[in-house]
Structure 1
Amino acid sequence: MTGLDHEHTAAIDEAATWLATTPRRQRDRPAVVLLRERFGLTPVEACTAIAQANLILARVE
């Protein structure tokens, strides 16, 4: 894995954690838009982060 790939993976992981721990009422925009703006993700990366956040939440419940 190259440094660039690792950086993107770290950003996706960070975004997923943020999304899983931030209540919906504190998010004023669609998740993909927020993740792209806040973490600099591509649309595909944002969707990956959303999927990871859902897995995080499933493990908590």
Structure 2
Amino acid sequence: MNSTYEEEFMGFEIFVEPNPDKWQGGYIWTVCKDEEEIYSDLEFEFDDAINSARSTAKLYF
């Protein structure tokens, strides 16, 4: 994946993008609400990044 993935989930915006640090790799995921970042983190697999972002959104719902 070379571009940003976006979705709306339970009223939150979820973004997943490749880590710009090619040495470390992985995917940075971000959960936002009303254009404000709530939380972000790094996962090494794309599916793990989406699942982590969705789980975080559920905590704030």
TM bucket (normalised to shorter chain) is 0.3 to 0.5
TM-score, normalised to structure 1, is 0.35
Which structure dedicates a bigger proportion of its chain to strand? 2
TM-score, normalised to structure 2, is 0.35
Which structure dedicates a bigger proportion of its chain to helix? 1
Instruction: Between the two structures, name the one with larger relative contact order (CA 8 Å, sep ≥ 6).
Output: 1
